[in-house]
Amino acid sequence: MIKRLVLLSSLAAGWVVAAAEPASWFTATKSAEGVWTISDHGSDDIYLVEGRDKALLIDTGLGIARLSAFVKTLTSKPLTVVNTHGHPDHAGGDFEFASVYADPADFAAIRAWSKPEARAQAAGNMTKGATGPDMISPEEAAKAPPAELLPVKDGFVFDLGGRRLEVIAAPGHTPGEIVLLDSANKEIFTGDNSNVLVWLFLPNCEPLEVYLATLKKIQARAAEFTTIYPGHGKPLPASFIADQIGCVESILDGSAKPVPYHSFAGDGMVAHYKTASVAFNPQNLKKADGRSFLDYKIAIVGLVHSHVWWPLETMVKPNPPARLVAIAEPNAALVAEAKKTAPGVAYYSDYRKMLDDVKPDIVWAFVENNRHLEIVRECAPRKIQVMFEKPLAASLQDAREIERLAVEHGIRVMTNYQMVWWPANYAAKAEADRGTIGQVWRLHGTVGHGGPGSEGPRNQYFFAWLTDPVQNGAGSLVDFGCYNALWSLWYLGRPETVYATVNHLRPNVFPKVEDNADMVLHYKDGVGVFEASWDLPRGFQELEVYGLRGSLTMREKQAELRVDNQPPRDLLLEPLAAERADPVAYMVGRMTANLPLDGLVALPINVEVVEILDAAKESVRLGRAVALPAAKPE
């Protein structure tokens, strides 16, 4: 079970024994021939499995004591290491080893906990008051390079010589959880898939129906094992899987009588069935309408926005959150490009016919900004959820009409931004909200690059409309100013006035629109200073947040904190929950739970983004600051 770093110190206090210093942080018990159970000071169980030629270490524990040296006291055989999943009590010690196998779905979590600052913070929290001659100091942990992550997938076999362990993909507790089956010796090593109490309420847990499918998959192999070695606790009989299935089914069919469950890592509900217990999130059970996951259909309208190509690649990978069923685009060159990535979907030149033929649940439109309202007018009466690339619209008038249609027809309209899916974005905001830097009063955002390209079909049609003042709404002011406006609204709220200036540095490249824009958003007790440019020497998408006591700097993969005159410190970037780390997964998750969109992608804040952009354009025209009308009372 995951132990969040902010809570590790409280856990450590429960694990430390105020007695004589033990010989080691670890203790080992020979559980079966060739199997050692290594207790990580009572917090979790690590397993060492020996074959004739090699040994396999299953999980690496918390990473606060010298596991590698301890394992060498048990075996001298060449060692392979595998993580059952990416939580820090199972992958925390990866840095002691050159390479570690894991399911790629948990790579992001493992990497987040493998960063030197995260390891130093974990070690510092966990060793308070603990004793042992083999502890790893925070400084030493911080200097250790991370392990190379090697992928495993369902069916992968670790051959140890006379002993083979098969990987079984087991999503549930995490997306990338695996179990390891040694059918010849009737043993299965399950990580956190089959503890007496399984946690499925954490943010990155899969829905309960996914976990049920995993349990049934393992149950189908029940004749091949008699002993379950869990990640926490004593060995269990093979019959325990049936109790787990009964517990999950009782939750899903409503026959369970769950009660509130509270823990250091969060709250949920817990249900019991015979020997098994499951703590779960009532909003993360299954599709609200009972449909299977890939019954949610998504279609793409338009290919003229160059942001389409990366999402398209993700949509055709195995196990997408929604099934890509069709693409509508009249441009033959762009269709030819799309077919290189997605040859197996239906293609239409008329998107209205596509909507009627395939009846998608979601449309992700990659069209010109001034066509967003047109798309909503077609989708809203058909009850199709809509996703756009930023901004919501080319004008405030269009944005407000989109909002009206969405409310009238009861659909969700989402505006997608790259930084919405960055852990760093939320780590910085959370630190500011905690008051670490004092009252936030100044923002400085820089978003831009060297300008859009125009080479090849993927770029030339995008360039044509992006540099058109009607189709885009302006130039760099709209293209990148929307990011800045969104940040300002998020941190400081609605500004009182907007002042903007623009430059036309390269009229030969961008003859119709500005290629550099600066905005100053004024607040009663603060200010936002923002730059949006196509003339920078490299890519920028960063935000500086200033408080009365300190500052934060946020980039895609880093959030840095400075308080008073102290040295800068990188914040821990915790992986986002699966439904918060991907645009389609987020939309499907809100549909599943029958919830409205929230946060940075929701309609209200994005209507205000367009309002700020319209005021900025008016400011440029008038050469002065433009006051925003007072916000309407809710």
Task: Encode pLDDT of 125-135 as tens digits.
Answer: 554 556 677 88
- Compute the C-alpha angle 489/379/295, nearest 5°: 100
- Tell me what pLDDT residue 20 has: 39
Strands 227-230 and 197-200: unpaired
- The answer, yes or no, to whether residue 215 has pLDDT greater than 50, is yes
The answer to whether the CB of 498 falls within 8 A of the CB of 628 is yes
Query: Which candidate, 447, 32, 488, places its Cα nearest to that of 228?
Result: 32
Judge whether 188 and 179 are in contact, CB under 8 Å. yes
DSSP state of 74: T
Helix, strand, coil percentages (3-state) for the chain, rounded to 5, are 35, 25, 40
pLDDT band at 146 (very low <50, low <70, confident <90, very high): confident
Q: What is the pLDDT of residue 578?
A: 74
The region of weakest confidence among 138-147, 350-359, 492-501, 542-551 is 138-147
Q: Phi first, then psi: what are they for 325, rounded to 5°?
A: -110, -25
Predicted pLDDT of residue 83? 98
Q: Is the distance from CB of 195 to CB of 234 less than 8 angstroms?
A: no
CB atoms within 10 A of CB 632: 5
Domains of the chain with bracketed CATH: 5-248 (3.60.15.10), 293-418 (3.40.50.720), 420-627 (3.30.360.10)
Q: For residue 316, give both structure tokens.
A: 């055709």
Residues listed for the chain: 634
Give 367-391 pLDDT, tens digit per residue. 999 999 999 999 999 999 999 999 9
Q: Which of 218, 176, 204, 202 is nearest to 279 (CA)?
A: 202
**Distance, C-alpha 502 to centroid of its chain:** 35
Q: What is the pLDDT of residue 267?
A: 84
Q: Is the pLDDT of residue 9 over 50?
A: no
CA distance 250 to 172: 17
- Residues forming beta bridges with residue 442, ordered by sequence position: 527, 546
- CA nearest 587: which of 364, 418, 365? 364
Q: How large is the average pLDDT for residues 299-311?
A: 96
pLDDT attached to residue 434: 93
Which of 111-115, 161-165, 399-403, 456-460 shows the lowest per-residue confidence on average (mean pLDDT)? 111-115
Cα 275 from Cα 285, distance rounded (Å): 21
Which pLDDT band, with edges at 50, 70 and 90, does 274 fall under? very high
Distance of CA 622 to the CA centre of its chain: 43
pLDDT of residue 257 exceeding 70, the answer is yes
Q: Report the C-alpha dihedral over residues 598, 601, 604, 610, rounded to 10 degrees.
A: 170
**Tokens representing residue 276 in the block:** 């098994």
Flag whether pLDDT at 590 surpasses 90.
no
Predicted confidence at residue 320, as pLDDT, reads 81
pLDDT band at residue 138, thresholds of 50, 70 and 90?
confident
Buried b (16+ CB within 10 A) or exposed e, 609-628: bbbbbbbbbebbeeeebbeb
Cβ partners under 8 Å of residue 50, min gap 6: 34, 35, 36, 75, 77, 160, 163
Amino acid at 435: G
Alpha helix segments (H runs only) across 331-410: 332-341, 351-358, 372-379, 396-409
In the chain, pLDDT over 70 holds for what percent of residues?
A: 92
What would the mean pLDDT of 244-251 be, rounded to a whole number? Answer: 95
**pLDDT single digits (tens) 595-623:** 899 999 999 999 999 999 999 999 999 99
Compute the Cα dihedral for 185, 191, 196, 200 and give only its sign: negative
C-alpha Rg value of the chain to the nearest Å: 27
**Rounded distance, CA 301 to CA 32, Å?**
59
Average pLDDT, the chain: 90
257 CB burial (10 A radius; 0-12, 13-18, 19+): exposed
DSSP element (H, E) containing 567: none
Contact 551, 442 (CB under 8 A): no
* Measured CA distances, 316 to 156, 310, 326, 349, 578 (Å): 23, 11, 12, 21, 18
Sign of the CA dihedral running 367, 371, 372, 376: negative
**Phi, psi at 115, each rounded to 5°:** -65, 145
- Sign of the Cα torsion 487, 491, 493, 499 reads negative
Residue 106 DSSP code = G
DSSP 21: P
Of the two residues 632 and 413, the one the predictor is more confident about is: 413
* Per-residue pLDDT at 121 exceeds 90: no
Distance, CA of 276 to CA of 94 (rounded, Å)? 30
pLDDT at 628 over 70: yes
E strands, 395-496, are 413-416, 440-448
Is a pLDDT exceeding 50 seen at residue 16?
no
Q: What is the mean pLDDT of residues 549-574?
A: 94
Question: CA–CA separation, 185 vs 178, rounded Å?
Answer: 19
Provide the phi-psi class of 258: left if phi over 0, else alpha when psi is between -120 and 50, else beta.
Answer: beta
What percent of the chain lies above the pLDDT cut of 90?
76
